[in-house]
Amino acid sequence: MSYVDEIYAKVVEQNPGESEFHQAVKEVLDSLKLVIDANEEKYRKAALLERLVEPERIISFRVPWVDDNGQVQVNKGYRVQFNSAIGPYKGGLRLHPSVNQGILKFLGFEQVFKNSLTGLPIGGGKGGSNFDPKGKSDREVMAFCQSFMTELHKYIGADQDVPAGDIGVGAREIGFMYGQYKRLTGLYEGVLTGKGLTYGGSLARTQATGYGLIYILDEMLKHNGKELAGKKVVISGSGNVAIYATEKAQQLGATVVALSDSNGYVYDKDGIKLDIVKDIKEVRRGRIKEYADAVPGAVYTEGKGIWTIPCDIALPCATQNELNLEDAKALKANGCFAVAEGANMPSTREATDFFLENKMLFMPGKAANAGGVATSALEMSQNSQRLAWTFDEVDAKLKDIMVNIYAKAAAAAEKYGVPGNYVAGANIAGFEKVVDAMMAQGIV
């Protein structure tokens, strides 16, 4: 058995029930076969892959808090500190009822390669809780965040581990957590990113993941003789990533015709009016259904099915495994030629293979959504320097980073004989820097 297959079998055996983690590891290892086979003896001796797939540390803890009825609630809290070879652990916190250790391990594993691709000095981590922020009052969210940070603060720090937002964690939650960290430690430091602008946040961090997605999409299209202007785009989700992907796509002349949430999707053939979406989602924390009530001609459909809407470009920006083989086939049949992942692992393995086999342009999440964490790293730089850059400065750096990520993924794919396969390219390019640092640092 090859070293890669052997390690994958061990991962499945030793991490039972963690299907998303198995899926993420398999995708990366399959891509790395060529690189690993060429260096098998050296890597085996150093147990390199065994170390790469095992988190350095997982912290798991109880999060008790009191709800508005005076009832005590208990959630599970986690931080997966996956790999610190190239910098302090860096990655978001997810608050969603589906959160479990396996999902956070998949996200932490992906984060290691994504962060490496940015070219910035950040290791990989992820954390979160099965707390559901939906329907909770601001006071309940604060009580949860304070309790969560009361435990987490022991394990993080500006040069140690720097969490940020992800699903269910935005400016409100980061604010509550930052306040509690400062209160417990007495430190005013860049321990979290995605902070508010009055207390160390970076301009353009809110927009960064969505804008970055469109910058790399645009780059991929240009290098393949296409352009974004005039194209019809379908975007899933209607959270942070989906909203700012819509904004930048519209600025570059595309028409975004659909958005969704976990209840259903809206279709607006004339193009989504983003100010209405922002009011529903960012201000009122409402449901995407309300868009159809507010905009004449827009249609709301309950349930899944957003990928059956005809489009040129599809951008899954909600959650893992939201786009399966059937969806991929429907997209192609309706004329879609490009897919870029704003979410982490939104396409199933079968869907990804279908896109590649059918020569559709496909940019995987760890490259396509890296603009968020890259801008988080820029926030860390500003915090260390005690400076704040302008929106245009940060945005220009973000764009440069995304263009570079495209170039790295394309070059690695070319070098290993799979031109245009940005999945293999991104995995190999992300791997190379991490592995070099791990080999140099000895057995740790």
Residues annotated as catalytic are 126
Q: From the CB of 169, what's the least distance to ligand 2IT, in Å?
A: 8
Binder of ligand 2IT out of 315, 373, 394, 426 (CB under 6 A): 373
Query: Which residue pairs, CB below 8 angstroms and at least 24 apart, start in 135-141?
Result: 137/68, 138/172, 139/68, 140/65, 140/67, 140/68, 141/172, 141/173, 141/176
Q: Based on CB atoms, which residue is closest to ligand 2IT, 162 or 277?
A: 162
% helix, strand, coil for the chain, step of 5: 50, 15, 35
Residues 349-368 that bind ligand NDP (CB under 6 A): none
Selection from ligand 2IT, ligand NDP, none that 167 binds (CB < 5 to 8 A by kind) is ligand NDP
319 contacts ligand NDP (rule: CB under 6 A): yes
Which of 175, 79, 68 has the alpha carbon at shortest distance from 128?
Answer: 79
User: Which of 164, 191, 220, 339 is the binder for ligand 2IT (CB under 6 A)?
Assistant: 164
Question: Does 210 sit near ligand 2IT (CB under 6 A)?
Answer: no
How many whole angstroms separate alpha carbon 302 and alpha carbon 46?
52
92: exposed, middle or buried (Cβ count in 10 Å: 0-12, 13-18, 19+): buried
Any contact of residue 246 with ligand NDP (CB under 6 A)? Answer: no
Q: Which does 318 bind (CB under 5 to 8 A by kind): ligand NDP, ligand 2IT, none?
A: ligand NDP
Q: Which long-range contacts (CB under 8 A, 24 or more apart) does 436-442 make?
A: 437/85, 437/86, 438/48, 438/51, 438/52, 438/85, 439/46, 439/48, 441/85
**Spacing of C-alpha 170 from chain mean position:** 14
Nearer to ligand NDP, 146 or 319 (CB): 319
Size of the site for ligand NDP (CB under 6 A): 24
Of the pair 65, 244, the CB lying nearest ligand NDP is at: 244
CB of 369 to ligand 2IT, least distance (A): 6
> Can you tell me which of 84, 344, 347, 352 binds ligand 2IT, judged by CB under 6 A?
344
Neighbouring residues of 355: CB distance < 8 A, sequence distance ≥ 6: 328, 339, 347, 362
Residues contacting ligand 2IT: total by CB under 6 A: 12
Collapsed DSSP state (helix, strand, coil) of residue 232: strand
Of 28-36, 67-75, 257-265, 271-279, which segment contacts ligand NDP by CB under 6 A? 257-265
342 binds ligand NDP (CB under 6 A): yes
Cβ pair 159, 88 in contact under 8 A: yes
Residue 382 as a binder of ligand NDP (CB under 6 A): the answer is no
Shortest Cβ contact with ligand NDP: which residue?
239
With left for phi above 0 and alpha for psi between -120 and 50, is residue 230 left, alpha or beta?
left
Residues that bind ligand 2IT (CB under 6 A): 90-92, 111, 114, 164, 166, 193, 344, 372-373, 376
Instruction: Point out which residues bind ligand NDP (CB under 6 A).
Output: 96, 98, 165-168, 209, 237-242, 261-263, 317-319, 342-344, 369, 372
